[in-house]
Structure 1
Amino acid sequence: MELYFIRHAQSANNALWENTGSSDGRHPDPDLTEKGVRQALYLASFLKTPRSTSEKANHTADRHNRYGFGLTHLYCSLMKRAVRTAAIVAQALNMPLYGHADLHENGGVYLDDPERGEPMGQGGLSRTELLTLYPDLILPPSVTETGWWNRPFETEEERIARARRVWAWLLERHAHTEDRVAFFSHAGFYHTFLTTLLGATTPDGAWFTLSNCAITRLDISSDGVWIVYANRVDFLPDALL
């Protein structure tokens, strides 16, 4: 199995931070910016390249996807920025897109309460709202009309437990197959997922970076987990990085 962990394209909150260095005025579930849409279109074009099956293909080159990707499964977070990024890719690849409630960003859907100075959980988009925006999105039964999040801010312990849950789910569904799976998720969860998977304790300030639309590839087999490459953005022009 190959896992491609892909960050969503630039969101309005990303642009806010880039322009101001502050999260003041952040949205609990932002959409993509115009720049983000352009990034997602480049990503879709890159991932659309068919996978070569030639016996003469260079194995090392193939591990760097020089002969394309040939993705077989697309899963996305239920946050608007990730769904929209993934929907652009799914349309280009003419593939079904499955929403996965556990691929969300660390913390969940929240806003900072100015009086209490604490993050307060929000509802998140409802089933009807998600399907109105993305009619082809295949949602899990757990997504209802009350909003897919609708609970308190996620703690560090809950993030780690969720990363373990996602890993177990991935192995149960795709282990010992030739599947090529794409997760459309978030930078914070990427860090939690990798550190949990590796059993790593990172020093204060250490971080696994993942740029907007960047791709990290992990090859998973009975022999172990191989991190083939990380934070790949060579398909984006400089102006969109």
Structure 2
Amino acid sequence: MKLFLIRHAESANNRLALDLGYDEYMAQRYIDPPLTELGRRQAQMVAQHLADNQHPERPSEQSAAPERSGYGITHLYCSAMLRSLETAAPIGQALGLRPAIWIDIHEHGGMFRGNPRTGEGLEVAPGLNRRQIQEQFPDVLIPDEVTDEGWWFQGYEDMPACYGRATRVARDLRRRAQELSNNEVEESVALVSHGTFIDSLIKALFNQIPAREFYYQHYNTAITRIDFMPDGVLLIRYINRIQHLPPDMVSR
């Protein structure tokens, strides 16, 4: 099984964080930020790149689905956060896939605004509900966990809880890869997720939790590829690839 981890395109919070210190940013951040204009352009570019038959690896390997273009992605997942949905939508259109929401790949913290360090102004929200997602993203497959009230019904999620969630996702991915290998089936799975969660998931896959002294940085729409080999070995092909973006469109 091939796993592609794709960070969402630039969001309004990413843009806001460039000009503000931590406390001021936390007070002003959006609970569920949309993409910026740059972010929408980035999402279109990564979608075209993933569907393009000229990507570097294609001549040297067999695709999991030869009839599919580009990276041969067979399954596309995203979180229920707006910036992930807005990034996954053009990718799904370019690849001819319906994105499926995977609740557990949301960003660290959950749906919140305010300062988690001090508790000042801290508030949480339930996120988009089923009707809102269906109206805005009619092609998206919505799990039962997204209700008529939303999908986030907890308080602020701390890092230990995020690591626990990443460990659960890593376990699910390993189990899926093993079942595919046992049945001699190949898949190429793409997750459109978030910076801190992608860092946590990579650490969970390689038994590096709770390492906080290093971080797997991903620019907006950066791609990381990890192959699950039949013998259980994980092979990192590349991390934080952004060759689809011109220099003036790279953002963090």
TM > 0.5: yes
Between 1:189-198 and 1:82-91, the stretch displaced more is: 189-198
- SS for the counterpart of 2:73 is coil
Listed as ranges, the gaps of 5+ residues in structure 1 are none
- SS for the counterpart of 2:227 is strand
- SS for the counterpart of 1:19 is coil
Q: Distance in 2 between matches of 1:173 and 1:19?
A: 42
1:178: Cα distance to partner? 1.2
Distance 1:146 1:133, change over 3 A: same
Distance 1:201 1:76, change over 3 A: closer
Residue 228 in structure 1 maps to residue 230 in structure 2? no
Q: Distance in 1 between matches of 2:142 and 2:162?
A: 22
- SS for the counterpart of 2:160 is helix
Aligned partner of 1:4: which letter? F
- SS for the counterpart of 2:114 is strand
- SS for the counterpart of 1:20 is coil
Q: Which residue of 2 aligns with 1:215?
A: 223
Residues paired across the two proteins, number:
233
Q: Distance in 2 between matches of 1:227 and 1:187?
A: 17
Q: Distance in 1 between matches of 2:238 and 2:36?
A: 27
Distance 1:183 1:171, change over 3 A: same
Q: Distance in 1 between matches of 2:76 and 2:209?
A: 30
Q: Which residue of 2 aligns with 1:117?
A: 120
Q: 1:31 aligns with which of 9, 29, 34?
A: 34
1:153: Cα distance to partner? 1.0
Q: Which residue of 1 aligns with 2:12?
A: 12
Between 1:128-137 and 1:2-11, the stretch displaced more is: 128-137
- Per-residue CA distance 1:187-215 (angstroms, 9 max, x = gap): 00011111122112576542110110000
Whether the aligned pair in 1 keeps the contact of 2:163 and 2:209 (CA below 8 Å) is no
Q: Which residue of 2 aligns with 1:84?
A: 86
Q: Distance in 2 between matches of 1:197 and 1:236?
A: 27
Whether the aligned pair in 1 keeps the contact of 2:226 and 2:238 (CA below 8 Å) is yes
1:174: Cα distance to partner? 4.2
Whether the aligned pair in 2 keeps the contact of 1:105 and 1:189 (CA below 8 Å) is yes
- SS for the counterpart of 1:106 is coil
Matches within 5 A, 1:88-107: 88-107=90-109
Q: 1:190 aligns with which of 188, 193, 198?
A: 198
- Per-residue CA distance 1:154-192 (angstroms, 9 max, x = gap): 122221221121122223334323100000000000111
Whether the aligned pair in 1 keeps the contact of 2:73 and 2:190 (CA below 8 Å) is yes
Q: Distance in 2 between matches of 1:215 and 1:157?
A: 25
Q: Which residue of 1 aligns with 2:66?
A: none
TM-score with structure 1 setting the length: 0.88
Aligned partner of 1:10: which letter? E
Listed as ranges, the gaps of 5+ residues in structure 2 are 64-68
Q: Which residue of 1 aligns with 2:142?
A: 139
Between 1:151-160 and 1:37-46, the stretch displaced more is: 151-160
Structure with greater proportional strand content: 1
Q: Distance in 1 between matches of 2:188 and 2:249?
A: 26
Q: 1:47 aligns with which of 45, 50, 63?
A: 50
- SS for the counterpart of 1:213 is coil
What is the Cα-based RMSD across aligned positions, in Å?
A: 2.5
